[in-house]
DNA sequence: CGAACGACCTGTTCGC
DNA sequence: TGCGAACAGGTCGTTC
């Protein structure tokens, strides 16, 4: 479920509750996630987001890498409330605990040593500009939507926001990435920046079950123009929004605005 | 290089 | 109502 704005929301909220605190206990409740080191007694120095990954940095140089994939979410519990169904692990601190709830069990957790010189990920919240987008897309024949979803190119955009960005930019998801003009990339960049910023400010999109670290819904679902709205009127031109499948993903677009 | 598909999992919604 | 199919925010690997 979580895309960039949702992971960024968790990152900001986690910083406030766990930085400079020490892990008291790690409990793994899913056999797929076993063998994730010890953590107990380690102090957390930093919480960062790389694309859709969350990275907890410890004072000893270790980094805990968490990816929530499709259905994972995190919840902060101040008291020892009952564990919700599908809780996959918990990390306890003196002030409370983080629990990870993940019905589909796709989420991954791993421990790594800090890697100096790991390549910086192009982050759409900070760096999403027409010149670099056009340069990276040069000669690429894949659909522009697949290009936006490629985490090796731009990290953090997922299916919801790819649909929304292309709609705002009035570009068909099927256009070959290499065929967009500079002006079109400018529209993509402007749409991307504004949509991702707004969605982050809204603490994400709660389209079915996304909740933030404190169990609150996001607000961006009230701003969606095409995602999940097949048959509804395009807010721009009134044409009916369509759903089609593009490389296996449900793709929502306005056939009139996005030729 | 890229498209298509299956895997990984489980829950919810849709259509008959 | 019941039941199976389709679908879901992500990614990886294989085959064509």
Q: Are residues A81 and A170 in the same domain?
A: no
Which of the nucleotides in strand C have any atom less than 7 Å away from a protein CB atom?
7-12
What gap in Å lies between CA A193 and CA A130, rounded to an integer? 11
Catalytic one of A3, A6, A164, A184 = A3
Out of A78, A113, A148, a domain closes at A113
* Nucleotide nearest the Cα atom of A139 (by C1'): B1
Distance A47 CA to B10 C1' (A): 29
Q: Are residues A147 and A249 in the same domain?
A: yes
- Of the pLDDT bands very low, low, confident and very high (cuts 50, 70, 90), residue A37 is confident
Tell me if A123 is assigned to some domain: no
Q: Are residues A100 and A140 in the same domain?
A: no
What gap in Å lies between CA A99 and CA A215, rounded to an integer? 11
Out of A84, A113, A142, a domain closes at A113
State the average pLDDT over residues A104-111: 95
Identify the domain containing residue A141 by its residue range.
130-253
> Is any atom of nucleic acid chain B found less than 7 Å from the CB of residue A198?
no
Query: pLDDT, tens digit, for every residue of A168-188?
Result: 999 999 999 999 999 999 999
Query: pLDDT, tens digit, for every residue of A222-234?
Result: 999 999 999 999 9
As for how many domains chain A has, the answer is 2
Catalytic: A3? yes
> Is any atom of nucleic acid chain B found less than 7 Å from the CB of residue A104?
yes
Give the CATH number for residue A21. 3.20.190.10
Catalytic one of A69, A235, A249, A255 = A249
In percent, the amount of chain A with pLDDT more than 90 equals 87
Distance A24 CA to C12 C1' (A): 34
State the average pLDDT over residues A63-90: 95
pLDDT for A118 equals 62
Tell me if A259 is assigned to some domain: no
- Of the pLDDT bands very low, low, confident and very high (cuts 50, 70, 90), residue A115 is confident
* Nucleotide nearest the Cα atom of A221 (by C1'): C9
Task: Kindly write down the DSSP assignment for every residue of A81-103, as one continuous string.
Answer: PPPPTTEEEEEE-SS-EEEEE-T
pLDDT for A208 equals 81
Q: Are residues A54 and A165 in the same domain?
A: no
Number of helices and strands in chain A (H, E): 5, 10
Q: Are residues A162 and A70 in the same domain?
A: no
pLDDT for A117 equals 60
Tell me if A178 is assigned to some domain: yes
Q: Are residues A60 and A85 in the same domain?
A: yes
Catalytic: A69? no
> Is any atom of nucleic acid chain B found less than 7 Å from the CB of residue A86?
yes
Q: Are residues A104 and A158 in the same domain?
A: no
Residue from A71, A249, A55 nearest A161 by CA = A249
- Of the pLDDT bands very low, low, confident and very high (cuts 50, 70, 90), residue A42 is very high
Do the Cβ atoms of A164 and A252 come closer than 8 Å? Answer: no
Q: Are residues A141 and A67 in the same domain?
A: no
Tell me if A22 is assigned to some domain: yes
Out of A48, A83, A113, a domain closes at A113
Phi, psi of A221, rounded to the nearest 5 degrees: -55, -25
pLDDT for A147 equals 96
């Amino acid at each position: 479920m979580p895309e960039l704005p949702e992971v960024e929301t968790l990152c900001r909220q986690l910083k406030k509750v766990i930085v400079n605190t020490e892990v008291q206990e790690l409990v793994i409740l899913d056999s797929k996630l076993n063998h994730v080191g010890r953590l107990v007694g380690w102090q957390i120095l930093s919480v960062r987001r790389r694309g859709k990954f969350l990275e907890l940095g410890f004072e000893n140089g270790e980094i805990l890498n968490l990816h929530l994939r499709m259905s994972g979410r995190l919840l902060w519990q101040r008291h020892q409330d009952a564990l919700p169904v599908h809780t996959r692990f918990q990390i306890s601190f003196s002030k409370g605990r983080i629990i990870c709830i993940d019905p589909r069990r796709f989420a991954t957790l791993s421990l790594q040593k800090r890697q100096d010189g790991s390549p910086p990920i192009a982050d759409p919240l900070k760096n999403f500009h027409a010149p670099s987008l056009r340069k990276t897309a040069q000669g690429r024949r894949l659909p522009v939507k697949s290009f936006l979803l490629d985490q090796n190119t731009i990290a953090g955009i997922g299916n919801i926001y790819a649909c929304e960005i292309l709609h705002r930019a009035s570009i068909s998801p099927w256009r070959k990435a290499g065929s967009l003009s500079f002006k079109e990339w400018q529209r993509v960049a402007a749409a991307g920046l504004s949509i991702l910023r707004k969605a982050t400010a809204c603490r994400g999109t709660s389209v079915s079950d996304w909740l933030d670290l404190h169990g609150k819904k996001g607000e961006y679902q009230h701003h969606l123009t095409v995602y999940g709205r097949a048959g509804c009127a395009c807010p721009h031109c009134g044409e009916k929004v369509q759903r089609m499948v593009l490389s296996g993903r449900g793709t929502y677009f306005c056939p009139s605005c996005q030729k």
